[in-house]
Structure 1
């Protein structure tokens, strides 16, 4: 992967640690990034960067195979792992019961509300729900340091007639267990240059958090714990094992102290779940159905396959055969190996002004969570605190023990064909226009520093924007794709939809990132017209922030 373009570092920001330079400055940065941590970042980068680049190249070669008509399948060279008799390491007591998890960005208010929410777990997200400005990253790390120490507080200023509001943490025993999701292997941290090249964003996220919090969390029997995103192979999992073992050795932690849950949110990874667990077997505690990114990965994997074009996003639900197969195979795999099988995200937001509409939305949440617990999942995700009681009630009723890893699902027989069979459906005009709106509004907010955006009573993050953007590209570049009303999906339709969008959105001052709408429209137009599908939306967008 080519390095993200970066500015020449200010000589005053070059640290005493040889080989590393920081290209941005922020108040308190020296305390957050002391020399010992800088030395750890250097050693991590030098050990891991060659392997990271090799795996990113392997991704490109894998995609070339798919673009040429190839299909994913279970690996013959790892059959012994899949058929072997082995288990992952025991799950820590703090992670035995994960029936409801809440996720969100790492700003102080969110961290406090999530830890206080009543969920079993809070996943503090440096990835899909955080726009990785240097400011956001440092504020997030400081918030987590203060949260682990027990003294994180935040006061929201008075505005629009509302008084100031103060937020503080509940006692430790009443808080959710903290997990941190770093960025994926494909993302650079362009503000940290080591030997002249950007280091991996995920390594920066994990190393900074562990350096400041690992000892305190270990003393509380709370980890540290992480969620690992967007892996495509066992080799990528093994790279994380090397990184985490390196950090443990540098910080004097017991090997295997840092535990991980892996998101299975790429199509290639669904064919290597046993192998990924095996590569991380001394520290992995579960796998998660990252449904939105998984749909995005399906689209991206089969971007050149005319027979695997999916209908509009709203019709691609977890009851579709290929998603049902993925979910049930994950449950079977995890429980066979002694790991948790976590369900996916409910992205709904309560609709305050429409009682009937809100009840319909909550009914969809209940049905989804009932499906998950009945299938054998050990827990689930929600995006909004108001959904926690709904999910908890369903899991409490159907799962009266901390988890259901004893449900082995030996009845599940999933083939490679089951995992890639496309769903059927239509593309309506509303579906096409909805994809354009979601992508533009999310991009505008992301460029403005906000990575988690409520749109039409759904909490949208990078994963859902990726679905919208990738579907648009695939529909536009395939032959003879039409809306349900017979209108051809072509660049004329895209242009007219983009042109009409600002008027449809109304006052940009009332929208997150409203000042970036025109820039977002131009970027979506550019990405949609490109002959090649850009690997990740956040790669070109990252060059436009900071």
Structure 2
């Protein structure tokens, strides 16, 4: 295929020639070229705004607050978001973290009783060229009813498409001599090939927007939506998007984010690990913001996270927008009669009841076996399709609430757990996977981000272990990393995967020993020569499913 003028595109990965030809047509490339050319400069502006805001916080020592210049938006009680289509109004349980390149799991989710599926090109996906093309093509097949035993769109779970976030670039396409913003690559191809069909079947196009940090970024997305709908002949407001509030700065601008997207908003989503990691990202050098051991002291019952969830629900429902909770990462044991099965289900039930009582309209699960139990739970404790009627007029969330770091220290098991998650995520990434299973739950870039950034921060502030008063230092983390590698490599890895695991340990140590923590671990990984060279070799060997990391 000849490149469009001003555009360069890498060749098809081996084995995906037909998919490549389907996705990269002359018309789709022309559309992508125009989309990217139109908005590339504005993408640079919002990314520069991120740098400016972070530098200001670092140099001034200031703390974020609700912006005075937009107070009129927050004080105006009259504006609401445009009502969402009927099928979006009842999304009690979605499947989360579904990397669409995983064809088998994708088909299973399509045949499940879930109301929606988070088609995840971001947190749960490793963006090799192979994975991106395979994933976009699988969405194309699902939308056009091309899978065997397909469920037609009107009956299938809604596809909630989640392009990569602004921190990522697509290395395999260049427009006007520059690598393209990854979210525009993903969004443009998904809309071009699937937008009209989803609209005709009253099933979309619906999106999740990751890692939005300000209302200016929401404004940019809104402009992209308007432009795209005009180009594709879709009515204004057809596209609906749920913004994931994954950053402490965004929590101070939730109303403004809804306002900017009010014609295209499907609401807001609250999670836990990306949001918690953003505290390290923005305030990591300040000892007062040192997060304690996440496995013990960081959960949605803590003041800073509970306040964030309460404010998100209150903000959404005031504006008649849907508020969704985070994803259940725990996996149910296969034996339904076992004590461990009951323990996991009880734990999930307790945590999700907290969100339901706070007023969320739905949430996500990774394990398909949790769909029906969680649907029954939310139906038992709510009435109707959602909880939009539940508006907390008695609630006031202050900056102090949002910035209140929980008390607690660092434990040796917590430190080792964070090291293991960080190492295993890099190991999975080098294998072409964006998530993995460990100790009975799914881990992805969000948990890798909080795990790795915490280790970096504990080294930075020389935190003391509660167990024996040792200081978390480079030397201690290096020693523990060797222990973790020995434990991980003793469960059946081949020589090749042991070598890869050693590479993952080395890369992990490089990240946590940096003077300044990278903006995102995925940015570090996607621009590292190891990752780029692995793309050229095609899909690398994936860890054998029989390794049973969950038993460690």
Report if TM-score (shorter chain) is over 0.5: yes
Deviation of 1:203 after TM superposition, in Å, equals: 0.7
Query: Runs of 5+ in structure 2 lacking a partner?
Result: 536-552
Cα shift readout 1:31-56 (whole Å, capped 9, x = no counterpart)? 21111111111111122111111111
Query: Which range moved further: 420-429 or 264-273?
Result: 420-429
1:98 aligns with 2:91: yes
Query: Which range moved further: 472-481 or 450-459?
Result: 472-481
Give the secondary structure class of the aligned counterpart of 1:386.
helix
User: Does the Cα contact within 8 Å between 2:153 and 2:201 map onto a contact in 1?
Assistant: no
Of 302, 314, 317, the residue aligned with 2:295 is: 314
1:284 aligns with 2:268: no
Deviation of 1:509 after TM superposition, in Å, equals: 2.6
Deviation of 1:512 after TM superposition, in Å, equals: 12
1:24 aligns with 2:11: yes
Deviation of 1:172 after TM superposition, in Å, equals: 4.2
For residues 367-386 of structure 1, the aligned pairs below 5 Å read 367-386=350-369
Residues in 1 aligned to 2:67 and 2:248: alpha-carbon distance in whole angstroms: 14
Corresponding residue of 1:220: 201
Residues in 1 aligned to 2:487 and 2:494: alpha-carbon distance in whole angstroms: 13
Corresponding residue of 1:67: 58
Of 323, 342, 361, the residue aligned with 2:344 is: 361
Corresponding residue of 1:162: none
Give the secondary structure class of the aligned counterpart of 2:515.
coil
Deviation of 1:301 after TM superposition, in Å, equals: 1.6
Corresponding residue of 1:523: 507
For residues 436-451 of structure 1, the aligned pairs below 5 Å read 436-451=419-434
User: Does the Cα contact within 8 Å between 2:207 and 2:242 map onto a contact in 1?
Assistant: yes
1:421 aligns with 2:404: yes
For residues 452-467 of structure 1, the aligned pairs below 5 Å read 452-467=435-450
Deviation of 1:255 after TM superposition, in Å, equals: 1.7
Give the secondary structure class of the aligned counterpart of 2:493.
helix
CA separation of 1:50 and 1:500: change in aligned 2, threshold 3 A: same
For residues 318-337 of structure 1, the aligned pairs below 5 Å read 318-337=300-319
1:146 aligns with 2:141: yes
Corresponding residue of 1:156: none
Deviation of 1:30 after TM superposition, in Å, equals: 2.7
Deviation of 1:507 after TM superposition, in Å, equals: 3.7
Deviation of 1:266 after TM superposition, in Å, equals: 0.7
Deviation of 1:400 after TM superposition, in Å, equals: 2.4
Deviation of 1:362 after TM superposition, in Å, equals: 1.6
Residues in 1 aligned to 2:494 and 2:89: alpha-carbon distance in whole angstroms: 43
Deviation of 1:296 after TM superposition, in Å, equals: 1.2
For residues 66-465 of structure 1, the aligned pairs below 5 Å read 66-68=57-59, 69-84=61-76, 85-103=78-96, 104-106=98-100, 107-153=102-148, 168-315=149-296, 316-352=298-334, 355-465=338-448
Corresponding residue of 1:57: 48
User: Does the Cα contact within 8 Å between 1:380 and 1:391 map onto a contact in 2?
Assistant: no
Residues in 2 aligned to 1:513 and 1:485: alpha-carbon distance in whole angstroms: 34
Give the secondary structure class of the aligned counterpart of 1:509.
coil
Q: TM-score, normalised by structure 2?
A: 0.91
CA separation of 1:291 and 1:14: change in aligned 2, threshold 3 A: farther
Deviation of 1:334 after TM superposition, in Å, equals: 0.2
Deviation of 1:513 after TM superposition, in Å, equals: 6.2
Deviation of 1:511 after TM superposition, in Å, equals: 12
Deviation of 1:357 after TM superposition, in Å, equals: 2.9
Deviation of 1:403 after TM superposition, in Å, equals: 0.5
Give the secondary structure class of the aligned counterpart of 1:263.
strand
Deviation of 1:510 after TM superposition, in Å, equals: 7.4
Cα shift readout 1:146-182 (whole Å, capped 9, x = no counterpart)? 11111214xxxxxxxxxxxxxx434545421111000
Give the secondary structure class of the aligned counterpart of 1:102.
strand
Query: Runs of 5+ in structure 1 lacking a partner?
Result: 1-12, 154-167
Corresponding residue of 2:524: 540
User: Does the Cα contact within 8 Å between 2:412 and 2:465 map onto a contact in 1?
Assistant: no
Deviation of 1:450 after TM superposition, in Å, equals: 0.7
Give the secondary structure class of the aligned counterpart of 1:78.
helix
Residues in 2 aligned to 1:234 and 1:434: alpha-carbon distance in whole angstroms: 35
